[in-house]
């Protein structure tokens, strides 16, 4: 009997192993998807990006037209938002620099494009100033284009050469009143936003200065630091280093909120200087007139998603810019209010330019 037991035990083990394998195969069959299910799953995965693209209006590459050369904040704004627009709209986005005629050439190109969302304009407040002062009636950002949203906004900082005998805005105004026309300020050109801001400042303070117009930003900065011109008006990204070195003395920021890069500097609103905050260095996104509301909404959503990205916000912040995240309606209202202030200043000060 003892010689028979191992054989029986071996058969028992064999039978047990067989049953275990059968149970394992049954379980595996229950868990494994069918070949049809696998194929359907793969097809759905491959179709998912196409579904996203189908939801976008874009069917070909999108052009972001910029009215300046490939440098400066206007170009920076376009290149910072382009990657997210590409991701969200499902088509390549190309920055197309078209400088000329104080940005009006680019505005005209987009105004004449089909309103299907494939040609967009990255504009600036400079285009409003040009329209308010030009004798040639260039295209109007508010009337001749579709507002999509503001890209970024930067208030102008007012700073004086450190050799000027004034410690703050009040003493600078007093100095100007004592000697009307003796001091001057630099602008980025006749009829520019900086020119209009300086003229509005004189209106609001009852003072008189000479406007010195420059076509070269570097020369304007050099003359300000050398005290050839006494007052500088510009972005904190430009004037900030000179303020930090002591070559310039900050007076105020022409806005409603204090400048984060120089928080001790007061605002024009705090100083009781009305409407200076309506002339700022903002940049915006537009399409041709008549662009369907659903396309405007889609591009606005993509734009605001780009502006929420930490790296994009950080890049604008380093340039002294903020990102308001406007709706198209808010952006249009802002443009309308700013334009009215600019047009009133241009008329009151008889500022006309041949753009």
The mean-pLDDT minimum among 13-22, 186-195, 245-254 falls in 13-22
294-330 pLDDT, tens digit each:
999 999 999 999 999 999 999 999 988 999 999 999 9
58-153+281-348 falls under which CATH superfamily? Bordetella uptake gene, domain 1 (3.40.190.150)
* 116 exposure class (CB count in 10 Å sphere: 0-12, 13-18, 19+): middle
| Average pLDDT over the chain, rounded to an integer | 87
Q: Give the per-residue pLDDT at 113.
A: 98
Predicted confidence at residue 121, as pLDDT, reads 98
What is residue 102's predicted lDDT score, i.e. its pLDDT?
86
pLDDT per residue over 65-116, tens digit each? 999 999 888 999 999 999 999 999 999 999 999 999 889 999 999 999 999 9
DSSP 68: S
Residue pointed to by tokens 């001057």: 184
For residue 37, pLDDT beyond 90 = no
More confident residue, 107 or 46: 107
When pLDDT is averaged across residues 124-139 and rounded to a whole number, the result is: 91
Strands 156-161 and 248-254: antiparallel
| 3-state SS string for 240-290 | HHHHHHCCEEEEEEECCCCCCCCCCCCECCCCCCCCHHHCCCCEEEEEECC
* Whole-number pLDDT of residue 33: 41
- Is the confidence at residue 8, as pLDDT, over 80? no
Judged against a pLDDT cut of 70, whether residue 47 lies above it is answered with: no
Distance CA 148, CA 228 (A): 41
User: CATH homologous superfamily for 156-278?
Assistant: Periplasmic binding protein-like II (3.40.190.10)
For 79, counting Cβ atoms within 10 Å of its Cβ (0-12 exposed, 13-18 middle, 19+ buried), the class is middle
Write out pLDDT tens, residues 196-227: 999 999 999 999 999 999 988 899 999 999 99
Residue 228 has pLDDT above 90, yes or no: yes
Could you tell me the two tokens for 323? 């990102």
CA distance 270 to 168: 13
d(CA 346, CA 132): 7
Question: Which regions of the chain carry the CATH code 3.40.190.150?
Answer: 58-153+281-348
Where along the chain do the CATH 3.40.190.10 domains lie? 156-278
Q: 353 falls in which pLDDT band (50, 70, 90)?
A: confident
* pLDDT tier, 38 (very low <50, low <70, confident <90, very high otherwise): very low
């Amino acid at each position: 009997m003892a010689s028979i037991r191992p054989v029986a035990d071996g058969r028992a083990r064999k039978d047990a192993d067989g049953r275990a394998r059968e149970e394992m195969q049954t379980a595996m069959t229950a868990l494994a998807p069918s070949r049809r299910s696998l194929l359907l799953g793969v097809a759905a995965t491959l179709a998912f990006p196409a579904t996203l693209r189908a939801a976008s209006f874009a069917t070909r590459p999108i052009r972001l037209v910029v009215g300046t050369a490939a440098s400066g904040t206007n170009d920076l704004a376009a290149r910072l938002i382009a990657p997210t627009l590409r991701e969200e709209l499902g088509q390549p986005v190309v920055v197309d620099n078209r400088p000329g005629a104080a940005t009006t050439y680019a505005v005209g190109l987009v105004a004449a494009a089909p309103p299907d969302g494939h040609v967009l304009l990255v504009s600036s407040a400079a285009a409003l100033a040009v329209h308010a002062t030009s004798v040639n009636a260039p295209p109007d950002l508010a009337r001749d284009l579709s507002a999509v949203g503001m890209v970024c906004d930067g208030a102008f900082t007012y700073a004086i050469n450190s050799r000027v005998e004034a410690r703050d805005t009040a003493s600078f105004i007093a100095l100007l009143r004592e000697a009307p026309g003796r001091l001057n300020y630099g602008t980025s050109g006749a009829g520019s936003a900086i020119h209009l801001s300086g003229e509005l400042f004189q209106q609001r303070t009852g003072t008189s200065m000479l406007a010195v117009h420059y076509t070269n930003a570097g020369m304007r900065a050099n003359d300000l630091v050398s005290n050839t011109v006494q007052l500088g008006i510009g972005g904190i990204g430009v004037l900030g280093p000179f303020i930090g070195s002591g070559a310039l003395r900050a007076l105020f920021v022409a806005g409603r909120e204090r400048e984060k890069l120089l928080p001790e500097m007061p605002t024009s609103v705090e100083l009781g200087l009305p409407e200076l905050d309506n002339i700022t260095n903002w940049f915006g996104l537009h399409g041709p007139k008549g662009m369907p509301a659903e396309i405007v909404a889609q591009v606005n959503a993509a734009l605001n998603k780009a502006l929420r990205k930490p790296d994009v916000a950080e890049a604008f912040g380093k340039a002294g810019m903020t990102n308001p995240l406007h709706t198209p309606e808010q952006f249009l209202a802002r443009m309308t209010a700013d334009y009215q202030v600019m047009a009133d200043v241009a008329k009151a000060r008889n500022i006309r330019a041949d753009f």
